């Protein structure tokens, strides 16, 4: 090895020597660290080294291996020999100061946490405590350690402090520049706004008045519809057949109308509406706010010189600003104002029961009173079909047309007996009116009473309408013979003379378009004849369609139907066809409708009364359970003979099976006959035949049938199979 060193140049020799010394430092690092960490496994030599270091330096001994590691790195690095020596001296100072620090702080941490500072630490501790005291000694040692570490790693404290200070000053300066820039930009924006023409500010006004709907007087279900209503007492006693009008508790109670918007919300929406108009340079003042169950109307007063067309042209803009799907703008002549109808964020349900129990409906004397719904302010709207005298209904799918027809039918059922009003129901779709198949009010001029049913075939509908024209003409001849002008006068005269009164006939066609496709000419001719002349004899038409095109609602039909009812339509063209004006396309659906009375030039906006299918079934079941027979005379002669023969044959055919059923079950009831013979109408007629032939009887004051079993057995012995 000596030969190798002698053959090298002085520079190479120094480099090899540093590498050798660095390797020795590195080996010493691993050896001392192993002795300190795993003392028991290092043998006698390792334990001796560990004991000597801990006794001399204490806990600071753990720094010695890392000092050796640092010197190994310095020797491996090409650096000056002086720097190595200085770092060695500084490292010894660091180890000594750390030993002193551990000796000083040994008592603070209980003496067990550290191994102390060893002999060096304990010796220096006494000197530090004697001359400097504990606190100052700890501070001095801490600063000395920081200084020595920075010197070893060549870190300049002054440059570090200067760099931190410069960074702090630069941050302050940057923040000030950013603040001045924002102030300058804000001043520029204010200056530009000052140069722009100012927008018209909304006029200062008092808060608009909120006009709440006055609560309508309601009659309790007991006083309106008891077991025997007071208003109908004379009528029931004057008839041979007992009948009770349906009870109001059969319908769901939706509660009274409650405004879904608070006063603050209404005022806020009014201010937003006023600001929107001001943004488009329209000077207006909101005068009144009329909240309703579904929409709220804001009556605004326009400034002089402002045209109403300028507001109408802003329909979409106002709708966007008010965050709603559609609005409707209508003039309010009685207030010299413009009404803007805006849908509420949440609609309130309008039930049929709430309208039927109002004083307006209860006090109405007409048997054809219709509870259509509520007005925009929540008041119940009741009208009279007899004064229309016919009604045309249109609306797209899902707009509430079918529910509206149910409300019309139920309104009449709550007013009239089966012998006072008849329904001729035509349902080509076969699904909308099946719930009414058991009503004793059903009527069909082409068949006898017990066979009357809902008409579903277009050809049968055409024949029934044509036969109804004949019924109308026969009534005119009868009225002429009695020298009366209309059905009201005829019924009044019959009441005085004791004759039989005529009943009203309401024809309801649920889908007119389906009939017009099959037999448009025959259907249109019959509807035209009936619409022109049938009012006086008590026949009224209600036509409904979801396709209000000119092919379905022809000019001839429209001319004879002054009363129109439109639910939401798909386009303004359909709205013009049904109402002769736009507006129906802006409705929001779900019963929202426009009703055009025959005497008004402008339609009224209503919210249709909701009635579910289950409610209709309850009412029909209540009526059917009373076993009121279907009775009406066939006015057409060619029907009478065949119908009478058919009725006799059918009654005789069902009589013997019914008698055998009575003997088998030892009882009789409407439900029993219905379960075995298929329909309520057929069961009712069988009961009538049994009672007429005295097989059964119902004693006065009771509601139970008494059965003459001996008479039944005798009849079966002679006539049974």
pLDDT range class, residue 405, cuts 50, 70, 90: very high
How much is the average pLDDT of 656-662? 87
**Percent of the chain at pLDDT above 90?**
18
pLDDT reading at 10 higher than 80 = no
**Lowest-pLDDT range of 190-194, 385-389, 408-412:** 190-194
Query: 44 versus 516: which is more confidently predicted?
Result: 516
Residues in the chain: 721
Q: Which two tokens stand for residue 676?
A: 């075995």
For the chain, the average pLDDT equals: 79
Does residue 230 fall inside a structural domain? no
End-to-end Cα distance, the chain: 142
Distance CA(540)–CA(373), nearest Å, equals: 21
Specify whether 427 is located in the same domain as 314. no
pLDDT reading at 689 higher than 70 = yes
Specify whether 379 is located in the same domain as 501. yes
pLDDT range class, residue 225, cuts 50, 70, 90: very low
Specify whether 467 is located in the same domain as 586. yes
pLDDT reading at 193 higher than 70 = no
Does residue 268 fall inside a structural domain? yes
b/e map 361-382, b = 16+ CB within 10 Å: bbebebbbbbbbbbbbbbbbbb
Distance CA(670)–CA(580), nearest Å, equals: 50
Domain boundary among 329, 347, 365: 347
Determine the 3-state secondary structure of 26 from DSSP: helix
How much is the average pLDDT of 202-226? 55
Does residue 236 fall inside a structural domain? no
Determine the 3-state secondary structure of 28 from DSSP: helix
Overall domain count for the chain: 4
pLDDT range class, residue 643, cuts 50, 70, 90: very low
How much is the average pLDDT of 369-390? 89
- The H-or-E segment that residue 295 falls in is strand 295-302
- The H-or-E segment that residue 360 falls in is helix 359-362
Does residue 194 fall inside a structural domain? no
Specify whether 534 is located in the same domain as 477. yes
pLDDT reading at 154 higher than 90 = no
Does residue 188 fall inside a structural domain? no
Residue 233: the pLDDT is 36
pLDDT reading at 636 higher than 70 = no
Does residue 221 fall inside a structural domain? no
**Percent of the chain at pLDDT above 70?**
76
Residues 438-451: tens digit of each pLDDT? 899 999 998 888 88
Q: What is the CATH number of the domain that holds 655?
A: 1.10.10
Specify whether 356 is located in the same domain as 343. no
How much is the average pLDDT of 488-499? 89
Question: Would residue 606 be called left, alpha or beta, if left means φ above 0 and alpha means ψ between -120 and 50 degrees?
Answer: beta
Does residue 147 fall inside a structural domain? yes
Specify whether 341 is located in the same domain as 320. yes
Specify whether 205 is located in the same domain as 118. no
Alpha-carbon dihedral sign for residues 200, 206, 210, 211: negative
Distance CA(203)–CA(300), nearest Å, equals: 12
Domain boundary among 593, 624, 655: 624
Residue 5: the pLDDT is 46
Q: What is the CATH number of the domain that holds 408?
A: 3.40.50.300
Q: For the chain, what is the radius of gyration of the CA atoms?
A: 52
Query: 654 versus 232: which is more confidently predicted?
Result: 654
How much is the average pLDDT of 335-359? 87
**Lowest-pLDDT range of 212-216, 316-320, 352-356:** 212-216
How much is the average pLDDT of 386-401? 90
**Lowest-pLDDT range of 49-58, 67-76, 510-519:** 67-76
Specify whether 471 is located in the same domain as 617. yes
DSSP 501-532: PPPEEEEEES-HHHHHHHHHHHHHHHHHHHHH
pLDDT reading at 674 higher than 70 = yes
Does residue 161 fall inside a structural domain? no
Q: What is the CATH number of the domain that holds 324?
A: 3.30.980.40
Residue 552: the pLDDT is 83
How much is the average pLDDT of 279-284? 88
Domain boundary among 582, 602, 624: 624
Specify whether 336 is located in the same domain as 364. no
pLDDT reading at 227 higher than 60 = no
Specify whether 17 is located in the same domain as 135. yes
Specify whether 679 is located in the same domain as 697. yes
pLDDT reading at 369 higher than 90 = yes
State the greatest distance between any 2 C-alpha atoms of the chain, in Å, as a whole number. Answer: 159
How much is the average pLDDT of 137-146? 73
Residues 572-597: tens digit of each pLDDT? 888 888 888 888 888 888 888 999 99
Query: 204 versus 586: which is more confidently predicted?
Result: 586
pTM: 0.60
Q: Which two tokens stand for residue 45?
A: 């030599």
Tell me which DSSP letter residue 610 carries.
B
pLDDT reading at 221 higher than 60 = no
Specify whether 680 is located in the same domain as 574. no
Query: 435 versus 208: which is more confidently predicted?
Result: 435
Distance CA(686)–CA(669), nearest Å, equals: 11
At how many degrees (to 10) do helices 43-57 and 118-131 cross? 0
Residue numbers of the domain that contains 451: 352-624
């Amino acid at each position: 090895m000596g030969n190798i060193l002698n053959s090298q140049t002085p520079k190479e020799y120094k480099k090899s020597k540093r590498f050798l010394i660095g390797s020795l430092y590195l080996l010493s690092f691993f050896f001392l660290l192993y002795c300190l960490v795993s003392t028991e496994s290092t043998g006698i030599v390792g334990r001796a080294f560990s004991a000597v270091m801990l006794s001399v330096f204490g806990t600071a001994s753990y720094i010695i291996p890392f000092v050796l590691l640092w010197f190994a790195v310095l020797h491996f690095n090409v650096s000056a020999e002086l720097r190595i020596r200085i770092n060695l001296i500084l490292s010894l100072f660091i180890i000594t100061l750390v030993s002193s620090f551990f000796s000083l702080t040994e008592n603070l941490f209980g003496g067990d946490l550290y191994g102390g500072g060893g002999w060096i630490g304990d010796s220096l501790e006494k000197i530090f405590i004697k001359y400097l005291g504990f606190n100052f000694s700890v501070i001095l040692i801490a600063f000395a350690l920081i200084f020595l570490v920075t010197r070893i790693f060549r870190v300049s404290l002054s440059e570090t402090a200067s760099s931190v200070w410069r960074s702090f000053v630069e941050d302050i300066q940057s923040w000030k520049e950013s603040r001045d820039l924002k102030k300058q930009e804000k001043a520029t924006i204010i200056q530009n706004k000052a140069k722009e023409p100012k927008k018209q500010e909304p006029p200062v006004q008092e808060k608009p008045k909120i006009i709440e709907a006055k609560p309508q007087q309601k009659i309790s279900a007991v006083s309106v519809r008891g077991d025997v209503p007071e208003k109908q007492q004379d009528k029931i006693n004057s008839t041979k057949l007992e009948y009770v009008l349906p009870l109001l508790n059969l319908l769901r109670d939706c509660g009274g109308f409650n405004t879904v918007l608070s006063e603050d919300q209404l005022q806020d929406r009014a201010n937003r509406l006023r600001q929107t108009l001001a943004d488009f340079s329209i000077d207006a003042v909101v005068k009144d706010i009329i909240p309703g169950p579904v929409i709220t109307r804001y009556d605004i007063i326009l400034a002089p010189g402002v045209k109403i067309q300028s507001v109408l042209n802003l329909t979409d803009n106002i709708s966007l600003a008010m965050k709603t799907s559609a609005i409707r703008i209508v003039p309010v002549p009685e207030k010299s104002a413009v009404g803007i109808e805006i849908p509420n964020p949440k609609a309130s349900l309008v039930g049929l029961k709430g309208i039927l129990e109002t004083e307006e409906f209860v006090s109405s004397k007409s048997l054809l009173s219709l509870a259509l719904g509520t007005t925009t302010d929540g008041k119940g709207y009741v009208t009279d079909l007899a004064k229309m005298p016919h009604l045309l209904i249109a609306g797209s799918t899902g707009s509430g047309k079918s529910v509206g027809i149910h409300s019309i039918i139920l309104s009449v059922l709550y007013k009239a007996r089966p012998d006072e009003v008849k329904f001729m129901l035509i349902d080509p779709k076969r699904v909308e009116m099946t719930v009414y198949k058991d009503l004793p009010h059903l009527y069909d001029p082409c068949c006898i009473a017990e066979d009357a049913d809902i008409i579903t075939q277009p050809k049968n509908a055409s024949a029934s309408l044509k036969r109804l024209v004949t019924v109308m003409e026969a009534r005119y001849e009868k009225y002429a013979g009695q020298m009366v002008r209309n059905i009201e006068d005829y019924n009044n005269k019959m009441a005085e003379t004791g004759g039989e009164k005529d009943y009203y006939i309401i024809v309801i066609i649920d889908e007119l378009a389906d009939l017009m496709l099959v037999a448009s000419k025959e259907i249109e001719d019959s509807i035209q004849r009936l619409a022109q002349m049938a009012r006086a004899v008590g026949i009224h038409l209600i036509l409904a369609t979801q396709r209000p095109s000119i092919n379905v609602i022809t000019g001839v039909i429209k001319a004879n139907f002054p009363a129109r009812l439109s639910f939401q339509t798909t386009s303004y063209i359909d709205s013009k066809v049904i109402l002769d004006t736009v507006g129906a396309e802006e409705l929001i659906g779900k019963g929202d409708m426009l009703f055009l009375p025959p005497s008004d030039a402008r339609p009224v906006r209503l919210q249709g009364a909701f009635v579910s299918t289950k409610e209709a079934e309850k009412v029909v079941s209540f009526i059917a359970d009373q076993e009121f027979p279907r009775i009406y005379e066939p006015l057409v002669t060619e029907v009478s003979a065949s119908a009478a023969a058919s009725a006799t044959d059918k009654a005789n055919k069902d009589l013997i099976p019914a008698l055998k059923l009575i003997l088998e079950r030892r009882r009789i009831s409407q439900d029993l006959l219905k379960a075995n013979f298929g329909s309520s109408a057929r069961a009712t007629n069988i009961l009538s035949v049994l009672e007429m032939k005295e097989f059964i009887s119902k004693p006065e004051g009771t509601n139970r049938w008494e059965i003459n079993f001996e008479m039944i057995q005798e009849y079966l012995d002679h006539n049974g199979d």
